[in-house]
């Protein structure tokens, strides 16, 4: 039986301590960062060793491969990808071309991931940036217009799924107004519920069929002034599951981020009590992972159903797909010469 957690690891190979811990903890999934990545062969061997622990070829192995400044796979072994905003710039001139470029770019990302044994990408970013907000989202979003984000977000989801990779929409129910970086401190949004619903939540509501979503470590004063979304039963129940209508697998953002406080076991329990299906812990610190593990328990019930539904959407990449042709097509579409 699998636990309600996704863990990072410290290095490019599994240590003896990590191997023993993961065998006992049996996490639902793992997440990779730049510290875990060297060459394609090394990454493929690492993902194989992680799946050997669970004995399940479908075990989710996640990565943040957005393009732009958030990319764990980098040259010389992997191509540089444009940030989302680059595609949004083209949308006004030619929406159809921008959609095609986003779809093909997502297929290209998926192809690189599948070749490494990675089957989940923490993408699309559906946050709606607002004037005066911290630039932690910035060009990671397609645009400031929710309608553009929805259209291009849908194309990105389709490209990842048809490339054999599960998408995770983030950061539900919206990080675009946050005046702080939740990696470093807890953002607080004072905007009224009606405006949040019309602007921030609408992108997630329109793409609620995405199989997975990641929460925002953000307090929304008009909904729950006491707790960030990740640990707020009211936000999860009334907004994410209720108003937005999301019934896919809900995972927390990283529990070790400074937006949250208290012992890791308390953070894990609070996120699960609020309604997250699984929790995410990224930094690979063994003592912290043990604390998280003591507060998670077994994946079962509705959370198990959602997890199984997400995994059921993993399919072999849709063929035919020629990456060289796709690369050239994306470049032409973005240059306006296609």
Q: Are 1 and 299 in contact (CB under 8 A)?
A: yes
Give the position of tokens 């699998």: 2
Residue 313: how many CB atoms within 10 A of its CB? Answer: 14
Q: For residues 237 and 231, what is the distance between their CA atoms, to the nearest angstrom?
A: 11
Beta carbons of 246 and 235 less than 8 angstroms apart: no
Write down the H helix ranges in 55-162.
Answer: 84-91, 95-114, 146-162
What's the CA gap between 185 and 3, in Å, rounded? Answer: 28
- Token pair listed for 320: 């035919």
Task: Name the helix (H) or strand (E) containing 213.
Answer: strand 212-215
> Quick check: helix, strand or coil at residue 243?
helix
Query: According to the CATH classification, is domain 95-255+304-338 in 3.20.20.300?
Result: yes
Helices (H), 26-117: 40-54, 84-91, 95-114
DSSP state letter for 5 = E
Q: Is 336 helix (H, G, I), strand (E, B) or coil?
A: coil
183 as an active site residue: the answer is yes
Burial 99-110 (b: 16+ CB within 10 A, else e): bbbbbbbbbbbb
How far apart, in whole angstroms, are the C-alpha atoms of residue 322 and residue 319? 9
Alpha-carbon span 281 to 30, nearest angstrom: 9
What local confidence, expressed as pLDDT, does residue 132 receive?
Answer: 87
Catalytic residue among 121, 253, 277, 291: 253
* Residue-by-residue pLDDT tens, the chain, 338 positions: 999 999 999 999 999 999 999 999 999 999 999 999 999 999 999 999 999 999 999 999 999 999 999 999 999 999 999 999 999 999 999 999 999 999 999 999 999 999 999 999 999 999 999 998 898 999 999 999 999 999 999 999 999 999 999 999 999 999 999 988 888 889 999 999 999 999 999 999 999 999 999 999 999 999 999 999 999 999 999 999 999 999 999 999 999 998 899 999 999 999 999 999 999 999 999 999 999 999 999 999 999 999 999 999 999 999 899 999 999 999 999 998 66
Is 285 catalytic? The answer is no
Integer CA distances (angstroms), 111 to 66, 123, 158, 159, 310, in order: 14, 15, 13, 10, 19
Active site residue: 56, 183, 221, 322, which one?
A: 183
Look at residue 99 in the predicted model and tell me its pLDDT.
98
Give pLDDT, residue 259.
86
């Amino acid at each position: 039986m699998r636990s309600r957690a996704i863990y990072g690891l410290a290095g490019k190979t599994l240590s003896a301590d990590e191997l023993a811990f993961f065998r006992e903890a049996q996490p639902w999934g793992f997440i990779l960062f730049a510290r875990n990545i060297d060459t394609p062969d090394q990454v493929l061997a690492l993902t194989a060793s992680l799946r050997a622990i669970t004995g399940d070829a479908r075990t989710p192995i996640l990565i943040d491969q957005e393009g732009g400044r958030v990319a764990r796979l980098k040259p010389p072994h992997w191509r540089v990808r444009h940030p989302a905003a680059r595609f949004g710039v083209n949308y006004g001139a030619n929406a159809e071309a921008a959609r095609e470029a986003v779809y093909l770019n997502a297929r290209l990302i998926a192809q690189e991931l599948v070749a490494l044994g990675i089957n989940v990408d923490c993408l699309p970013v559906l946050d709606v940036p607002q004037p005066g907000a911290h630039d932690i989202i910035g060009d990671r979003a397609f645009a400031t217009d929710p309608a553009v984000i929805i259209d291009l977000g849908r194309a990105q989801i389709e490209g990842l799924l048809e490339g054999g990779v599960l998408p995770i929409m983030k950061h539900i129910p919206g990080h675009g107004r946050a005046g702080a970086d939740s990696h470093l401190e807890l953002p607080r949004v004072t905007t009224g519920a009606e405006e949040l619903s019309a602007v921030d939540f609408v992108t997630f509501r329109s793409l609620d069929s995405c199989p997975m979503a990641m929460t925002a470590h953000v307090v929304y004063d008009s909904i729950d002034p006491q707790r960030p979304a990740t640990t707020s039963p009211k936000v999860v129940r009334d907004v994410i599951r209720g108003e937005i209508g999301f019934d896919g697998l809900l995972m927390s953002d990283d529990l070790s981020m400074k937006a949250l406080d208290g012992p890791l076991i308390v953070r894990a329990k609070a996120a699960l009590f609020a309604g997250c299906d699984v929790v995410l812990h990224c930094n690979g610190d063994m003592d912290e992972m043990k604390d998280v593990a003591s507060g998670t328990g077994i994946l079962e019930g509705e959370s198990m159903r959602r997890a199984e539904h997400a995994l059921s959407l993993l399919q072999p990449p849709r063929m035919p797909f020629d990456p060289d042709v796709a690369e050239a097509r994306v470049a032409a579409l973005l240059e306006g010469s296609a």
